[in-house]
Amino acid sequence: MFGRNKGSKASEGDLAAQVVEWRRWLHENAERSYEEHETTDYVASVLEDMGLKVHRFDLGTGLWCDVPAADGTSSKDVVGLRADIDALPMTEDTGLDFASANEGVSHACGHDAHTAMLLGAASLLVADPPPQPVRLIFQPAEETQPGGAKKCVEEGVTDGLTQLMGLHCDPHRPTGEVGVIAGPITSSNANFGITVTSSGGHTARPHETGDTIFAAAQIVTGLTAALDRRVDPRAGAVLTFGSINGGSAVNVIPAKVEMWGTLRSAKRAVWEIGEELVTTSVASIAATFGVEAEVTYTQGPPPVINDEECAERARAAVVSVFGEEGVGTAEQSSGGDDFSWYLDSVPGVYLRFGVHSGKGEETDLHHPGFLLDEDALADGARLFDAFARG
């Protein structure tokens, strides 16, 4: 399976070629969240060839390993570096030679690049051991709710860590620029479903049954209004329905209407009260119109909030790799990342890593034609390495 040269202890000279080779294998063998078995085996094999001891997560995919410090001790404070390894359930349309060979699965979020860059960092750290141990986390299932990171934390992967760094490819930023900020950089996310039910009946006599369509419409507008009145307007809370289904005939009140939506927010406080707010508001609106309503609420990750000290360390790492001109700013995005789960137990920083070559159109994350500049990858490995050394 790993017929190609996986390499070990890549020198500066061949680092770029090696990281690109790893990235292409991972890209071609894209696997969905919690199904990253070959990906995990591949990453394990590369790390083991470097002489590292790999620990697989109990949850089935993903792994972590510690690179020992220069003096061989492993008990000192440990710095963590994290990559996510999963792909998306969507068909690739890039025309690349190494496009995903797995039908309906592709690395449209660039996690193949994250993984390859962290492998590159591993080779640099092994070749020139760092002053303190470094933990490399290859985490599965970032693209799920609540995210694989939560389970990795529950398995103790942050135990002993003093600082953590992660990054995400940013296709709207040029290669050579990295966005660094202290404070919030992503938003929280949660999915919810609402099932409105009644006995159903004739549209001529809504008073004899519960009018599920009418009640569903009241929930769509009422829930949004409740959020608007009960949450600080500065919190950047966005509640949106993406799906509503019910009914099949013009003169029949359906017995069931199903709706799905998302609640995102820039503030952790909204993430904390989201489930209670949605559940109680839906229950009271449903009661007003004499229907039943069941809510299923899947909590996603809270916002990623970068620690100030870690952001400063990251800024210095960016300068050491790219120079002062490589330091960019970053705004809090409405997207989420489960990196935030780690930050409940260790201070950390999440960076926006430029991967646009400057040629051709920018392609967005989660787009079937998503492309990134492979020339950025070796410097990404150096950036992880530089952060780890402090």
Q: Are 268 and 188 in contact (CB under 8 A)?
A: yes
Query: Which residues contact Zn ion by CB under 5 A?
Result: 109
CB neighbourhood size of 323 (10 A) = 10
Nearest distance in Å: CB 336, Zn ion: 9
Nearest distance in Å: CB 335, Zn ion: 8
∠ CA 329-331-334, rounded to 5°: 150
Nearest distance in Å: CB 84, Zn ion: 6
Cα–Cα distance measured from residue 145 to residue 191, given in angstroms and rounded to the nearest whole number:
8
Place of tokens 């939560």: 150
Nearer to Zn ion, 152 or 278 (CB): 152
Q: Are 136 and 81 in contact (CB under 8 A)?
A: yes
H/E element holding 229? helix 212-230
The two three-digit tokens of residue 152, written as one number: 């990795």
Nearer to Zn ion, 109 or 349 (CB): 109
Nearest distance in Å: CB 375, Zn ion: 20
The two three-digit tokens of residue 18, written as one number: 């090696």
Residue of minimal CB distance from Zn ion? 109
Nearer to Zn ion, 109 or 153 (CB): 109
Residues 6+ apart with CB under 8 A from 189: 145, 262, 263, 264, 300, 301, 335, 336
Nearest distance in Å: CB 109, Zn ion: 3
Nearer to Zn ion, 6 or 111 (CB): 111
Nearer to Zn ion, 289 or 384 (CB): 384
H/E element holding 242? strand 238-246
